[in-house]
Chains A and B, each alone.
Chain A
Amino acid sequence: MKKILAIACLTWKAALRFRLFLVIAVLLLAAVVGIPVLIKSDGTARGFTEILITYTLSATTALLGLSTLWLSCGTLARDIEECQIQVVATKPVARWQIWLGKWLGIVSLNAALLVLSGASVYGLLQWRATRLPAAEQETLRTQVLVARGVAQPPDYNTEINTRTEQLLQERLKQTQIPNADLATARQQIREQVKAAYQLVPPGYYHEWQIDLGFAKNSLHGKPLQLRVKFNTAQTGQSGTFVGLWQIGVPGTANVWRSQPMSLSANTYHEFEIPADLFDRQGTLTIDFVNANNTTLLFPIEDGTEVLYPKGGFTLNFVRGLGILFCWMALLAAIGLAAASFLSFPVATFFSLAMLVVVFASGTLSDAVANGTVTGVNEETGTAGHFIADFVLIPFFKVILAVVNVVKNFSPIDALSSGRAISWSELGAAFGQIVLLFGGVFGLIGIRLFTRRELATAQGNQ
């Protein structure tokens, strides 16, 4: 460990010697201070805070990400090209220790810079919040500068699947369905069954029961937020629909009824509901009356959610930064792995190309969904075929599986919308991003670096 730390220390020294640390630190601070001056928000304190969190943390991530890739490619590749690595490698230190030492050095450098910029962003947010009127401060504290947990109604998957299979078997007894169409038939029946759990016809009401779980014990006296979304096949002239809500314990006086709300379809609406409307078991009963002349559909997956205060913003912010740190650790591993067998420019190009692949995951998803890289004829609806599809599509699937795991952790989005980032989520991010994917790149990098003949790389001398 001492040897690894010694290498990490050398990496730090190099970063300080080349003024890299200073330059990145100044750039990060400039971004944090400059962005609030430049951005335009929707005019609300909430909107401004959301955009501030998004843009400052995105700028921090982008700056740190690029500098991490550049540094990790440069520190190893240039050491090899300029033969400085030979001075180190001839000492009693293993190649894997050199590699890990450099990785640790870059990661700790990132940690320091992330703490610096994170503390600046946090301080800026708190300072701005204290200068707002009391009402807006309250809105910020309950909706953005907070860690809110999410409770959803049951997804009824078991019931839906069971009923789907029942109906499918009944249909099969009556009609012969070719094997090729069986999956489609099952899907259609499933959608029909699912509709019963989602649709609210005109003049009817729909009830959701949401179990708040253990959170109920800490929610007494605290108002909650209801987040709803519905879809509809028809849109009236006004584009909005009347929403009437009743929330509380049925059959008791502990019930809250909303005023008629003007709600538009296909978008999320969030509103506050009074405290203590759940029963002793922690079940919150929500009723919606459809007073419109068209059927409304509340998607099971995300049509109704209850957001409740789960913790403070400070720790949530720290956990969010923790996930960003995991991303940086992975980028450092990618850069070092590339520099282990490539020259500095090629390693940088290779690493950036990998980033481009991540950013282009939408295109990859389209190709996988269409089953071809040649695209779909929009007029005929038919997909083209390309001989390379047999190789590329499975390859894209693997890339997407990896990319999606990393992209699923979106701390900036969670922080700007006041969603809680749990410790387990941070742990999962560390496990999957750093240990799993970072570990894979690390192993590849160490293996390549160990087998590399360092003395042959003397092109620049």
Chain B
Amino acid sequence: MADDGRPLPAGAPAFLRLLSFIFHVCKMSARVKKVLLLLLAAALLAGSGRVQKSLNRDRKELELTQMTPLKNAPPLLAFTTVALGGFRGLISNFLWIRAYDLQQEDKYFEMVQLADWITDLEPHFPQVWVFQAWNMAWNISVNFKDFSDRWRWVQRGMELLRDDGLRYNPDSPLLYQQLSWIFQSKMGQNMDDANQYYKEQWAKDMMPFFGPYGTNFDELLHPQTPEARARVGEFRDKFKMDPVFTEKVNEQWGPLDWRLPEASAIYWASVGLERAKANPGKVKPFEVAQLRRSIYQSMLQAFYHGRLVINPFDKSYDFYPDLALVSKVNDAYETEYAEESDPGQKNGFKHAQRNFLRDAVYFLYEDNRMAEAAKWFAYLSREFPDQPILDNDPNSLPSQMTLDQYAVACVQEDIGETDQNRVTAAVEGLLAHAYYELAIGQDDRYAGYKLLAFKVYQHYQSQLSPYADEIKRKGLAPFANLNQTVLDQLLDPKQGLPLAARAVLRTQLRMPPETVPANASPAVAISTNATEVTSTNLSNSAGK
């Protein structure tokens, strides 16, 4: 009916009928109206409840919002995230803009605070953590000229991911990969001038937990004293590392020197992989692949410079190839190759593996580990029989070369061709290197370098024509003379090695002590079983 009491025509539009109904409701008694409204409210509530469930499901599936409440969040953060609601984004935008502006003006002192606020406002958005950490560790750090300042910013970036980012996003592969990347690339590689400083600082941080050689797990796993238990607590609380899992990683990929950043890179990538296994639904395949790559790339780095030797004379940190890892690195390549499905990537892994094996053979030879060098040389020949072993010589198939020839060729690749002066310098350099290794207690490396020096010497001399006066004209001085020259230079009290190192050398080489000034400090005693290598016994040692 219309409002004047007349009925609506049969073909009246729907909205007119609705208006008519509303009009009638309005004319009902208050009690009936209330009942109807209550029923309507209940129906709407029930309907919204049903819609809410499906909406929440969609939001979760589409990752439009975080459904789970913040875990372990401080009260202030929990309050802020709830109270601000949708305005969090606006405030976060303002903070991003301020951070950007300040960075453009080279004002960094607020960056930690701003990053803290920004990540607090968006705690479940891994990219925010990643960007802020990367910005601190990479961009801001290099803007400081003092290495200690740079290290502080690298630490801030690392801590942001490790201490906070992972607390709120414990299953995010991206955060584990980025944390691993800071250790592997920023600290482990040499792209930053301060990388040596980072490595030293990290080694000093880790030394209390793993002992002076970075490999002792006894105290971490079975602390006996209150001090030891406190150290384990610090390891867990400050560095957020689990001793048991650390040992597991070490068994799987090591033995690693845990003073080095590569070991931590492998640790965090391994934790990420564990989390990914536990939550397969939350992880994308490429994220797992990135974590795996972090491990094998870090393994490769650990092979190249994963053995830390602290120079006893000047306390400097020297990094050497960790030859104990050859087998594990090779295994990592094999695993990566087997798990990769992309043919292009598979080829890339094989190529990288071949390069690694070539270096491994050379380094083992250099370190006087002849049996192992021969074993991996044979492996290289078996796995890559039709690929030249030297880059600039297409005929250098593994079957055409001996191990000795390969090692000398490697040195020659490094030192150039057959220039007399350059070869002399190279031989002297290898000899000096050998004596330096002897002075710091690296006896095998001493023997390896000395052997290599002699091989290079021999190889050069053998290339000269025996019929012309070429040996006279282009030949090198006798090996013993070169050796003595180098030794004299190193033992020179004014321009040679430090007094303590000279004393060690003299002791090891069975030489009489030099006249020591009255106020000189005593020599550092280094245990060694090295023997002087001469040209006469070199050929014997080469065969072992």
Show the binding face of A for B, using Cβ within 8 Å: 39-44, 46-47, 50-51, 54, 229, 237-240, 243, 261-264, 267-269, 271, 416
Contacts and interface: CB of A to CB of B under 8 A. Distances in A.
A41 B142 contact: no
A240 B195 CA distance: 13
Interface in B171-196: 191-194
30 contacts: A39-B113, A40-B116, A42-B109, A42-B112, A42-B152, A43-B112, A47-B109, A47-B112, A51-B109, A51-B110, A51-B113, A54-B109, A237-B191, A238-B191, A239-B142, A239-B192, A240-B142, A240-B192, A243-B145, A262-B147, A262-B193, A262-B194, A263-B145, A264-B143, A267-B106, A267-B143, A268-B106, A269-B145, A271-B145, A416-B109
A39 B113 CA distance: 6
The interface centre, meaning the residue of A40, A46, A229, A243 with most chain B CB atoms within 10 A of its CB, is: A40
Contacts of B116: 40
Interface string B153-168: 1011000000000000
Nearest to A270: B145
Nearest to A144: B109
A262 B109 contact: no
B193 A240 contact: yes
Contacts of A42: 108-109, 111-112, 152-153, 156
A54 B110 contact: yes
Contacts of A47: 108-109, 112
Contacts of B192: 238-240
Contacts of A268: 106
Interface string B131-146: 0000000000011110
A262 B145 contact: yes
A407 to B, nearest CB: 14
Interface string B319-354: 000000000000000000000000000000000000
Contact of B152 (A44, A229, A267, A271): A44
A359 B77 CA distance: 28
Given A42-B156, A268-B106, A416-B109, 8 more contacts: A40-B112, A43-B155, A47-B108, A51-B109, A51-B110, A239-B192, A261-B145, A267-B106
A308 B193 CA distance: 30
A50 B109 contact: yes
A268 B140 CA distance: 12
Interface residues of B, number: 22
B144 to A, nearest CB: 8
Contact of A238 (B110, B112, B145, B193): B193
Q: Which 3 A-B pairs have the closest CB atoms?
A: A262-B193, A47-B109, A267-B143
B194 A41 contact: no
Contacts of A262: 145, 147, 193-194
Contacts of B108: 42, 47
Given A238-B193, A240-B193, A41 B145 contact: no
Contacts of A46: 109
A271 B145 CA distance: 9
Contact of B113 (A40, A44, A239, A271): A40
Interface string B361-382: 0000000000000000000000
A46 B143 CA distance: 16
A150 to B, nearest CB: 16
A48 to B, nearest CB: 8
Contacts of B194: 262
Contacts of B113: 39-41, 51
A247 to B, nearest CB: 16
A248 B194 CA distance: 29
Nearest to A269: B145
Contacts, number: 58
Contacts of B191: 237-239
A142 B145 CA distance: 18
Contacts of A243: 145
Nearest to A49: B109
The interface centre, meaning the residue of B145, B153, B191 with most chain A CB atoms within 10 A of its CB, is: B145
A243 B193 CA distance: 13
B143 A41 contact: no
B291 to A, nearest CB: 25
Contacts of A269: 144-145
Contacts of A40: 112-113, 116
B194 to A, nearest CB: 7
A273 B162 CA distance: 38
A229 B147 CA distance: 18
A403 B194 CA distance: 44
B109 A41 contact: yes
A41 B106 contact: no
Interface in B91-146: 106, 108-113, 116, 142-145
A264 B143 CA distance: 5
B109 A264 contact: no
Contacts of A416: 109
Contacts of B149: 44
A143 B429 CA distance: 47
A303 to B, nearest CB: 13
The interface centre, meaning the residue of B152, B191, B193, B194 with most chain A CB atoms within 10 A of its CB, is: B193
A264 B152 contact: no
Nearest to B189: A237
Nearest to A229: B106
A51 B194 CA distance: 26
A240 B143 CA distance: 8
Contact of A41 (B112, B144, B193): B112
Contacts of B145: 243, 261-263, 269, 271
A128 to B, nearest CB: 15
A243 B108 CA distance: 22
A208 to B, nearest CB: 19
Contacts of B111: 42
B139 to A, nearest CB: 9
Nearest to B143: A267
A186 to B, nearest CB: 29
Contacts of B144: 269
Nearest to A50: B109
A268 B110 CA distance: 16
A267 B145 CA distance: 11
Interface string B500-533: 0000000000000000000000000000000000
B500 to A, nearest CB: 26
Nearest to A258: B145
A264 B156 contact: no
A151 to B, nearest CB: 20
A39 B120 CA distance: 13
A261 B146 CA distance: 8
A135 B205 CA distance: 23
A229 B109 CA distance: 18
A240 B141 CA distance: 11
Interface in B191-240: 191-194
B298 to A, nearest CB: 19
Contacts of B152: 42-44
A28 to B, nearest CB: 20
Contacts of B109: 41-42, 46-47, 50-51, 54, 416
A269 B106 CA distance: 9
B508 to A, nearest CB: 34
B56 to A, nearest CB: 34
A39 to B, nearest CB: 5
Contacts of A54: 109-110
The interface centre, meaning the residue of A42, A54, A243 with most chain B CB atoms within 10 A of its CB, is: A42
A327 B193 CA distance: 46
A16 to B, nearest CB: 33
B73 to A, nearest CB: 16
A49 to B, nearest CB: 9
A396 to B, nearest CB: 21
A43 B142 contact: no
A226 B193 CA distance: 22
A271 B152 CA distance: 18
A43 B159 CA distance: 12
A39 B194 CA distance: 29
A237 B116 CA distance: 29
